[in-house]
Every structure is written in structure tokens, then in C-alpha cells.
Amino acid sequence: MENNRKDHDSILLIDPITQYDVAPITAEQSFLSLGLRDRELLNGRWHFSVDVYNTFLRKQLFLQPPTDAYGKIAPVDHDYEQWERVNLPSNWNCEKEKYWHYEGSGIYTRTFPYEPKAQGERVFLRIGAANYICRVWLNGALIARHTGGFTPFAMEISDKLTSDNRIILEVDSTRRIKQVPSLNYDWFNYGGVYRDIEFVRMPKTFIRDAFVSLDPVKDVIDVQVHVDGDAVGIHVRIDELDVDADIEVNAQGKAQGSIGVSPELWSPENPKLYRVQITCDGDSWQDDIGFRRIAARGKDIYLNGEKLFLKGICCHEEVPNRGHALTKEDMIQTLQDAKELGCNIMRLAHYPHHEQMSRLADQMGILLWEEVPVYWALCFDAEETLASAQNQMRELIMRDRNRASVVLWSVGNENPDTQARLDFMKSLIAICKELDPTRLTTAACLVNGQQKCVSDRLCEYVDVISINEYYGWYISDFDELRQILENSQFDKPLMISETGAGAKSGHHGVQGEFFTEEHQAYVYRKQIEITDGKLAGLLPWILYDFNTPLRMNAFQEGYNRKGLIDESRNHRKLAWHVLHDYYVNR
């Protein structure tokens, strides 16, 4: 009895959760570029339970033993079919008030039938986003795990399917110091599976990834394709451009070629898209792609050879009562509100937003700045932190590099200028250039308040220098902003990536009175007066008020109130009209 007791105590000292980290992390090698492929959605009603003590892993509930060791029915502490049901995609914080501040593990499960539609078909499961760690079980087997709360991941499940299947998603939203983002950030930590869960059928040999872009200089369309399976060549068609070309596939399954052609160029004023079709041994991949050139020369940014002032606004991915789980209509409203403001660009802060945003931006004609959540202080010298950031960067780029609207990849926001951070950021920039040399890189760099200048070693490595400043809000002296602009002379474009002031919707007063719409409007007028003609772009903070636990005074009440529109997306504050008038008349 004593020996059994000791064995039991020793088991309690071992964290059983770590054994479930043996499944490979899905990363670039498993990436699927779906284009316009048919998908079968596994969205809808899923059984759900929070798992405060990680009981699902500790008791191996995924095994679902129907009987005990003696063949008798055993009492269990769970019953999937009796769990409450929630709609996926969604954030659990928005499902019930009691889950609002819950951070930890949540379990989703459902069953689904499978019947092959073609002999030898291969089947993949793709999850658009799950915050933050996601482990996937199919029919009792752990088949994949993913880290990073904002990018998609996919896994092949062909040999694990039966006629009836149970899928279980264990999602852990716990903030940890070595994650990306880390412990502290200025937005709400929504948990759960909040983008589409997709079931994709492929032939034995299929096109896993394709990148089609316009050469930055020559009238040439570059094509890069990754074929999974045995193939000797691919065929590329763009009917509107009379493109009909064959490209060989090498032994590694890669095809690369250039096609001489002069497409009509995509721009916000003319968001022209072409249907591109690539075929290979019975598989067909197609997408609607726009072709344009973005470049930085000296202090200016050029789109299709013409100098362009970036008239922008920042935006978080959030809507009332649904958190990050935006509908297509929500995304259209976001882009329409930005266009009505007079913007030609949006900064999708501070993490990858839904991939539908860039598709809609392609169609509606608005440029995008996209970024990964390398935000504030991270463990820049930790290998696992670097690996997560690099993977998120790769997944974002490979997801959206066929979108003409995306012109800026951002590698970080307001990070301390240390050597570890610089090496970290340089590695992300290298990934951007390796995977996508057709776009510009940027980051929210640092301002030295004592020297009154932009002072950040990262400025040497990005294509476009961006800074966040809040003169008129956190610092009252606007003369410092004048000095910073005068003292910061680079042979690169300089943009303001954040500026603004807080105002509670409908709260009025006088200039200088914080959280009034009047003072917010005054700050915008002064910012415009001081910066006009001195920048390559202006992207104030922010389009809508949004949830954040950092903001807890009587005016904020858990919201960042710097939005030009309130959190309901209905009321436009006075500052909205100030920026609108500047943009439409510039």
C-alpha cells in the first residue's frame, strides 16, 4: 500500500501536459494556399466546456473509454453530448458573461461523417485561427498542434478518417512570457476558435502553394508553385492577358518561371483583378489577383511609379458581442468606414486579421499594412519566442502575398532597442525578403524623447520608418514633435503609425479637457498642422474604440477611447470630421 502511495505521489509531481507537445507544430511545410478552392465548412454547433484544471489532458478524456479494465461501465466526469453547444467560429468570452475574463483551456468537440468523393483523394483540415495553443485530436489520436493565435494552420487527415469521426480541439488562451505576444498588451485576450474550420479534399498530386506577382521593374509576371506529389510540370492561364504557359517542376516539387506581359495595374482607384488558373495532373488552383508595384525611393513611397501619400487609419479586429469573430459584413463595414474617412490605407493592428479582409480590400481598393504581434517587451533572447514569431511571420506572408492590397509587412511595435531585439527583428525582415521581395517592410520604431529625434537601430534595416507618438495627449508640448521631425533626417520614407487622443463618445467640454470630443479634435488639428508635408504617410490611432483591460478610469471603463468612432460603430466623434476633411482635400 505504501509503495502504491509513493507511485501516486511521484505521478502528481510530473506535469502530464508536456507529453502532448510531442505532436509536430504545424508550420510553413504544412501550409495550404487554397485560393478559390471548394471547402466544406465544419463551422456550426460544437459541444464546448472550459477546462480550468486541464482535466481533458490529465485524465486523457480524448480516449473516451466506455468500460473499465474489467469490462464494466465506469462512471466518467464528462459527457461530450451533454455539454453546452456553441457556434463556431466564435470567442468563448462572448458566449456567456461568466466566460468574459476566462483565460485557460477550452475544449470543443463534434462528430462528422466522411465519405470519399474520388478514389485516392487526400483530405486536409484547416483552422483559420485559434488563440493561442491548439491541439487537435481525431478519433482519439493527437494529430497536430499549433502555436500563435492569429494565423491559419492545416494538417492532412486522410489516413485517420472513418465513416464516422470525432474531432476535438483543445485551445489554450493562457498568456505566457515566451509567447508572441507575451504577457502584457493593450487589447483583449479573446480565446477560442474564431475563424473558419475547413475540410478540404485534394487529389493525390495537388498544388499546395502558389505565389503570382508582378516583377518590381520589368513587365513580367513571376510564378512560384509548390506541388505536393509527383508532377513534371504545371500550366498557367490568365485568359484576360492571353497567358498560356507551361513551367517545369523540379525534383523538390517546385516550379518557378516568368511570363512577359503588361497587365492593367491595380490601385485604390482601379482595383483590377485577374483570374489566374494553375493546373497540374488533374488538380486546378485559381485565384483573383491584382498586379501592382510598390517602392520606396528616398523619402517617398511610390505606387505604380507615382508618388503616393499614405492616408491611413489603424484598426483592431473587434466587434461588439462577437470579439474577433467578424462576419463578412463586419469587414465590409470596416473597409467602407475607412474609405469614407478618406483613407487609401489601413493598418491592421497588432496581429494578422481575418484573411477575408485582404480579399475584400483587393476588391474595394484600399491598401493594407499587416503585422505580427511582436508587441512591446518579448523574450527576444528565447529560442521558442523567436521560432513562434518567425512561424507567424511566414504563415501571414504565405497566406496574403497574393493580395495586391497588402503593401507593408510590419515586424514589430514599440520594442526596446536591445541587441537581442535587433537580431530578432532582422531575422523577421529576412523572412519577409525571402518569401516576398515585392513588398516593403516597416516597424513602429522608437523616439528618443531626450534627444528629440527618431533613434532606433532598426531604422537601418526596414524599408519604411514608422513611429508612434501621442503629442497633445501623453505629452502636451507639440514643440517636441516639431523638433523630432526636424532632427530626424533619413533617406527613407518616414510615417507616423500611431497618434491621437482619447474621447468618450458624446462627452463634451473645452479644448484641453481630457476625454472630451473637443480635445480629441484639437489634437488632430495640431497634428495635421505640424506634420503636413513632412511625412510619407499618416496612420492615426484608431478607427473604433475597443476593449482592453489596461484602461480602467471613469471615461474608459475597459475601453481604449482613442477611436474616431465609438465601439458600437455608430457614433462618429468630432475628430473623425477633422481627419476626413484633411484627407479628402489633400
**What pLDDT score does 62 carry?**
83
**What pLDDT score does 79 carry?**
85
Q: How confident is the model at residue 60 (pLDDT cuts 50, 70, 90)?
A: confident
Mean pLDDT, residues 570-584: 98
**Cβ-based burial of 273 (10 A; exposed 0-12, middle 13-18, buried ≥19):** middle
Decide if pLDDT at 71 tops 80: no
Mean pLDDT, residues 200-222: 97
What is the C-alpha R_g of the chain?
Answer: 25
**What pLDDT score does 18 carry?**
65
Mean pLDDT, residues 368-385: 97
Mean pLDDT, residues 519-537: 98
The C-alpha cell that represents 388 in the structure block: 513562434
Least confident segment among 13-17, 84-88, 249-253, 328-332: 13-17
Contact 540, 347 (CB under 8 A): no
DSSP-assigned states of every residue in 202-238? E-SSEEEEEEEEE-SSSSEEEEEEEEES--SEEEEEE
Decide if pLDDT at 11 tops 50: no
**What pLDDT score does 61 carry?**
85
Decide if pLDDT at 342 tops 50: yes
**What pLDDT score does 3 carry?**
44
Mean pLDDT, residues 308-315: 98
**CB atoms near residue 414 (< 10 Å):** 19
Taking the CA of residue 338 as centre, how many other CA atoms within 13 Å lie in the half-sphere pointing to its CB? Answer: 33
Decide if pLDDT at 166 tops 90: yes
Which residues have a Cβ under 8 Å from the Cβ of 116 and sit 6 or more positions away? none
Mean pLDDT of the chain: 94
pLDDT tens, 391-404? 999 999 999 999 99
Q: How confident is the model at residue 384 (pLDDT cuts 50, 70, 90)?
A: very high
Residue with cell 486523457: 60
Domains and CATH numbers, the chain: 12-202 (2.60.120.260), 207-294 (2.60.40.10), 310-409+469-585 (3.20.20.80)
Q: What are the angstrom distances between the C-alpha of 385 and each of 118, 146, 171, 251, 255? A: 42, 14, 19, 33, 32
Q: Is the peptide bond before 542 cis (omega within 30 degrees of 0)?
A: yes
**What pLDDT score does 24 carry?**
56
Name 122's bridge partners: 202
pLDDT tens, 412-431? 999 999 999 999 999 999 99
Mean pLDDT, residues 524-549: 98
Decide if pLDDT at 285 tops 90: yes
Which residues have a Cβ under 8 Å from the Cβ of 37 and sit 6 or more positions away? 200, 285
Decide if pLDDT at 63 tops 90: no
Residue burial 221-246, b: 16+ Cβ < 10 Å; e: rest: bbbbbbbbbebeebebbbeebebebe
pLDDT tens, 140-159? 999 999 999 999 999 999 99
Please give the angle made by the CA atoms of 537, 540 and 546, to the nearest 5 degrees.
145
Mean pLDDT, residues 267-287: 97
**What pLDDT score does 75 carry?**
65
* Start-to-end C-alpha separation, the chain: 83
Decide if pLDDT at 45 tops 50: yes
